[in-house]
Protein backbone atom coordinates (compact mmCIF):
# COMPACT_ATOMS: atom_id res chain seq x y z
CA UNK A 1 0.00 0.00 0.00
CA UNK A 2 1.69 3.17 -1.20
CA UNK A 3 1.60 6.48 0.63
CA UNK A 4 0.59 8.05 -2.68
CA UNK A 5 -2.68 6.82 -4.18
CA UNK A 6 -3.14 6.46 -7.92
CA UNK A 7 -5.98 4.78 -9.83
CA UNK A 8 -4.84 1.33 -10.96
CA UNK A 9 -5.94 1.94 -14.52
CA UNK A 10 -7.35 4.51 -16.91
CA UNK A 11 -8.30 4.25 -20.54
CA UNK A 12 -9.29 6.46 -23.42
CA UNK A 13 -9.44 6.44 -27.19
CA UNK A 14 -6.69 7.72 -29.48
CA UNK A 15 -6.81 11.49 -29.79
CA UNK A 16 -8.66 11.91 -26.52
CA UNK A 17 -7.46 13.36 -23.23
CA UNK A 18 -6.86 11.52 -19.98
CA UNK A 19 -5.90 12.57 -16.48
CA UNK A 20 -4.17 10.51 -13.80
CA UNK A 21 -4.49 11.55 -10.19
CA UNK A 22 -2.01 11.15 -7.36
CA UNK A 23 -3.34 11.73 -3.87
CA UNK A 24 -1.16 12.20 -0.82
CA UNK A 25 -0.96 14.25 2.33
CA UNK A 26 0.63 17.33 3.83
CA UNK A 27 3.78 15.36 4.67
CA UNK A 28 4.45 14.56 1.02
CA UNK A 29 2.63 16.20 -1.91
CA UNK A 30 1.38 19.07 0.22
CA UNK A 31 4.89 20.35 0.92
CA UNK A 32 7.11 18.94 -1.81
CA UNK A 33 7.54 18.95 -5.56
CA UNK A 34 5.93 16.10 -7.50
CA UNK A 35 7.45 14.34 -10.47
CA UNK A 36 5.89 11.88 -12.91
CA UNK A 37 7.47 8.92 -14.68
CA UNK A 38 6.42 6.91 -17.72
CA UNK A 39 7.35 3.26 -17.96
CA UNK A 40 6.78 1.70 -21.35
CA UNK A 41 6.49 -2.11 -21.36
CA UNK A 42 9.80 -3.80 -20.68
CA UNK A 43 11.75 -0.56 -20.24
CA UNK A 44 13.12 1.59 -17.44
CA UNK A 45 11.02 4.50 -16.20
CA UNK A 46 11.51 7.90 -17.82
CA UNK A 47 10.99 11.33 -16.29
CA UNK A 48 7.93 13.07 -17.77
CA UNK A 49 7.20 15.95 -15.41
CA UNK A 50 9.23 17.50 -12.58
CA UNK A 51 8.65 20.26 -10.04
CA UNK A 52 4.89 19.68 -10.37
CA UNK A 53 4.50 21.04 -13.87
CA UNK A 54 7.81 21.32 -15.74
CA UNK A 55 8.67 19.20 -18.75
CA UNK A 56 12.22 18.02 -19.44
CA UNK A 57 13.51 18.80 -22.90
CA UNK A 58 12.18 16.34 -25.44
CA UNK A 59 8.89 15.70 -23.64
CA UNK A 60 6.01 16.88 -25.85
CA UNK A 61 3.59 19.48 -24.54
CA UNK A 62 0.82 16.87 -24.76
CA UNK A 63 2.00 15.95 -21.27
CA UNK A 64 1.24 18.34 -18.42
CA UNK A 65 1.33 18.31 -14.65
CA UNK A 66 -0.44 20.23 -11.93
CA UNK A 67 -0.69 20.22 -8.16
CA UNK A 68 -3.34 21.45 -5.78
CA UNK A 69 -3.07 20.98 -2.05
CA UNK A 70 -2.25 17.34 -1.37
CA UNK A 71 -3.05 16.04 -4.85
CA UNK A 72 -1.28 16.10 -8.18
CA UNK A 73 -2.51 15.35 -11.67
CA UNK A 74 -0.86 14.23 -14.88
CA UNK A 75 -2.68 15.16 -18.06
CA UNK A 76 -2.13 13.67 -21.48
CA UNK A 77 -3.84 15.09 -24.55
CA UNK A 78 -3.96 13.80 -28.12
CA UNK A 79 -3.53 10.22 -26.91
CA UNK A 80 -1.43 7.93 -29.06
CA UNK A 81 -1.10 4.16 -28.93
CA UNK A 82 2.54 4.73 -28.02
CA UNK A 83 1.40 6.35 -24.77
CA UNK A 84 0.26 2.97 -23.43
CA UNK A 85 2.41 2.57 -20.36
CA UNK A 86 2.49 2.62 -16.60
CA UNK A 87 2.67 6.05 -15.01
CA UNK A 88 4.04 6.79 -11.54
CA UNK A 89 4.01 9.89 -9.39
CA UNK A 90 6.72 10.50 -6.83
CA UNK A 91 7.78 12.94 -4.17
CA UNK A 92 9.51 13.25 -0.82
CA UNK A 93 7.77 12.38 2.39
CA UNK A 94 8.92 14.04 5.58
CA UNK A 95 6.64 12.32 8.09
CA UNK A 96 9.54 10.46 9.72
CA UNK A 97 12.97 11.06 8.29
CA UNK A 98 12.86 12.31 4.73
CA UNK A 99 12.37 9.55 2.22
CA UNK A 100 11.13 9.28 -1.34
CA UNK A 101 7.80 7.68 -2.20
CA UNK A 102 6.26 6.51 -5.44
CA UNK A 103 2.60 6.05 -6.15
CA UNK A 104 1.25 2.60 -6.87
CA UNK A 105 1.25 3.27 -10.60
CA UNK A 106 -1.50 3.67 -13.19
CA UNK A 107 -1.80 1.54 -16.29
CA UNK A 108 -2.92 3.65 -19.26
CA UNK A 109 -4.70 1.80 -22.03
CA UNK A 110 -5.30 3.57 -25.33
CA UNK A 111 -8.30 1.79 -26.76
CA UNK B 1 25.04 12.55 -22.00
CA UNK B 2 24.35 10.88 -18.68
CA UNK B 3 24.29 7.10 -18.56
CA UNK B 4 24.05 4.63 -15.68
CA UNK B 5 24.38 0.87 -15.60
CA UNK B 6 23.66 -1.57 -12.82
CA UNK B 7 25.72 -4.68 -12.24
CA UNK B 8 25.71 -7.50 -9.76
CA UNK B 9 24.54 -11.07 -9.26
CA UNK B 10 21.42 -12.25 -11.01
CA UNK B 11 20.76 -14.96 -8.43
CA UNK B 12 21.25 -14.87 -4.68
CA UNK B 13 20.26 -17.33 -1.99
CA UNK B 14 17.97 -16.48 0.92
CA UNK B 15 19.83 -14.88 3.87
CA UNK B 16 22.73 -13.81 1.64
CA UNK B 17 23.84 -10.22 1.17
CA UNK B 18 23.24 -8.56 -2.20
CA UNK B 19 25.81 -6.11 -3.52
CA UNK B 20 24.88 -4.01 -6.55
CA UNK B 21 27.08 -1.50 -8.33
CA UNK B 22 25.89 1.47 -10.35
CA UNK B 23 28.54 2.71 -12.78
CA UNK B 24 27.80 6.05 -14.34
CA UNK B 25 29.19 8.58 -16.77
CA UNK B 26 28.33 12.09 -17.88
CA UNK B 27 28.29 13.62 -14.40
CA UNK B 28 30.33 13.77 -11.21
CA UNK B 29 29.13 12.81 -7.77
CA UNK B 30 31.31 15.56 -6.37
CA UNK B 31 29.17 18.26 -8.01
CA UNK B 32 26.89 20.15 -5.65
CA UNK B 33 23.27 18.99 -5.81
CA UNK B 34 23.95 15.70 -7.54
CA UNK B 35 22.80 12.35 -6.19
CA UNK B 36 22.30 8.73 -7.21
CA UNK B 37 19.31 6.72 -6.10
CA UNK B 38 18.30 3.07 -6.12
CA UNK B 39 14.78 1.94 -6.94
CA UNK B 40 13.45 -1.58 -7.34
CA UNK B 41 10.43 -3.15 -9.02
CA UNK B 42 9.19 -6.68 -8.26
CA UNK B 43 7.83 -8.45 -11.34
CA UNK B 44 4.47 -6.97 -12.28
CA UNK B 45 4.47 -4.58 -9.34
CA UNK B 46 5.09 -0.93 -8.60
CA UNK B 47 8.31 0.99 -8.16
CA UNK B 48 9.77 1.05 -4.67
CA UNK B 49 12.42 3.61 -3.69
CA UNK B 50 15.32 2.20 -1.69
CA UNK B 51 18.04 4.76 -1.07
CA UNK B 52 19.76 7.93 -2.26
CA UNK B 53 23.26 9.27 -1.76
CA UNK B 54 24.20 12.90 -2.38
CA UNK B 55 27.42 14.55 -3.50
CA UNK B 56 28.16 15.55 0.12
CA UNK B 57 27.74 11.93 1.32
CA UNK B 58 24.32 12.62 2.84
CA UNK B 59 22.35 9.39 2.67
CA UNK B 60 18.63 8.65 2.75
CA UNK B 61 16.99 5.26 3.14
CA UNK B 62 13.55 3.76 2.88
CA UNK B 63 12.31 3.52 6.49
CA UNK B 64 10.98 0.00 5.93
CA UNK B 65 14.34 -1.29 4.65
CA UNK B 66 16.80 0.99 6.42
CA UNK B 67 18.15 -1.72 8.72
CA UNK B 68 19.14 -3.85 5.71
CA UNK B 69 20.53 -1.23 3.33
CA UNK B 70 23.86 0.54 2.95
CA UNK B 71 24.64 2.96 0.14
CA UNK B 72 28.16 4.21 -0.56
CA UNK B 73 29.91 6.10 -3.31
CA UNK B 74 33.33 6.01 -4.93
CA UNK B 75 33.66 9.35 -6.67
CA UNK B 76 36.96 8.48 -8.32
CA UNK B 77 35.44 5.39 -9.95
CA UNK B 78 32.08 7.01 -10.76
CA UNK B 79 30.32 4.24 -8.87
CA UNK B 80 27.62 3.90 -6.25
CA UNK B 81 27.23 0.62 -4.36
CA UNK B 82 24.09 -0.64 -2.65
CA UNK B 83 24.20 -3.56 -0.25
CA UNK B 84 21.11 -5.30 1.06
CA UNK B 85 21.45 -7.90 3.79
CA UNK B 86 19.37 -10.94 4.63
CA UNK B 87 17.84 -11.36 1.18
CA UNK B 88 14.46 -13.05 0.91
CA UNK B 89 12.45 -14.30 -2.09
CA UNK B 90 10.19 -11.24 -1.75
CA UNK B 91 13.25 -9.14 -2.65
CA UNK B 92 13.19 -10.59 -6.16
CA UNK B 93 12.98 -7.54 -8.40
CA UNK B 94 14.56 -5.46 -11.09
CA UNK B 95 16.91 -3.02 -9.39
CA UNK B 96 17.47 0.38 -11.00
CA UNK B 97 19.87 3.17 -10.25
CA UNK B 98 19.12 6.72 -11.35
CA UNK B 99 20.74 10.14 -11.42
CA UNK B 100 19.15 12.74 -9.19
CA UNK B 101 19.51 16.51 -9.29
CA UNK B 102 18.75 18.30 -6.05
CA UNK B 103 16.91 15.17 -4.99
CA UNK B 104 13.67 16.22 -6.67
CA UNK B 105 13.84 13.99 -9.72
CA UNK B 106 15.27 10.72 -10.95
CA UNK B 107 16.55 11.20 -14.46
CA UNK B 108 17.84 9.31 -16.28
CA UNK B 109 17.60 5.71 -15.11
CA UNK B 110 19.80 2.77 -15.78
CA UNK B 111 18.45 -0.19 -17.71
CA UNK B 112 17.93 -2.19 -14.53
CA UNK B 113 19.16 -5.57 -13.41
CA UNK B 114 16.93 -8.46 -12.42
CA UNK B 115 17.88 -10.11 -9.15
CA UNK B 116 16.22 -13.38 -8.22
CA UNK B 117 16.31 -14.67 -4.67
CA UNK B 118 15.99 -18.43 -4.56
CA UNK B 119 17.64 -21.41 -2.99
Interval A59-98: pLDDT, tens: 999 999 999 999 999 999 999 999 999 999 999 998 878 8
B66 to chain A: closest CA residue: A99
Question: A26-29 long-range CB contacts below 8 Å, 24 or more apart?
Answer: A26/A70, A27/A93, A27/A94, A27/A95, A28/A3, A28/A4, A28/A70, A28/A91, A28/A92, A28/A93, A28/A94, A28/A95, A28/A101, A29/A4, A29/A67, A29/A69, A29/A70, A29/A71, A29/A72, A29/A91
Interface test with A, best of B45, B47, B96 (most A CBs within 10 A): B47
Do residues B83 and B17 touch, judged by C-beta distance below 8 A? yes
pLDDT of B104 reads 86
Tell me the per-residue pLDDT of A100-111, one tens digit each, with 9 for 90 and over.
Answer: 999 999 999 999
Beta bridge partners of A89: A36
Tell me the per-residue pLDDT of A10-29, one tens digit each, with 9 for 90 and over.
Answer: 999 999 999 999 999 999 99
Q: How many CB pairs under 8 A join A and B?
A: 65
Q: Do B106 and A35 touch (CB under 8 A)?
A: yes
Percent of chain B with pLDDT over 90: 97
> CA B28, CA B45: separation in Å to the nearest integer?
32
Q: Using 50, 70 and 90 to split pLDDT, how confident is the model at B41? A: very high
> CA B76, CA B72: separation in Å to the nearest integer?
12
pLDDT at B103 over 90: no
Residues 12-71 of B with CB under 8 A from A: 37, 39, 46-49, 52, 60-63
pLDDT of A97 reads 81
B102 chain-A contacts, CB cut-off 8 A = none
Q: Do A102 and B47 touch (CB under 8 A)?
A: yes
Q: Which among B61, B96, B103 has the least Cβ separation from residue A44?
A: B96
pLDDT of A22 reads 98
Do residues A17 and A10 touch, judged by C-beta distance below 8 A? no
Amino acid sequence: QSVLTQPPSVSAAPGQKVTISCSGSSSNIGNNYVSWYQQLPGTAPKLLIYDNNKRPSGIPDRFSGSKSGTSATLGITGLQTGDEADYYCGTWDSSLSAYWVFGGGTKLTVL
Amino acid sequence: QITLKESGPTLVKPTQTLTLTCTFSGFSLSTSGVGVGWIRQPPGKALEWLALIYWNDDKRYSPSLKSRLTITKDTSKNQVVLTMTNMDPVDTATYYCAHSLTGTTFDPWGQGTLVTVSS
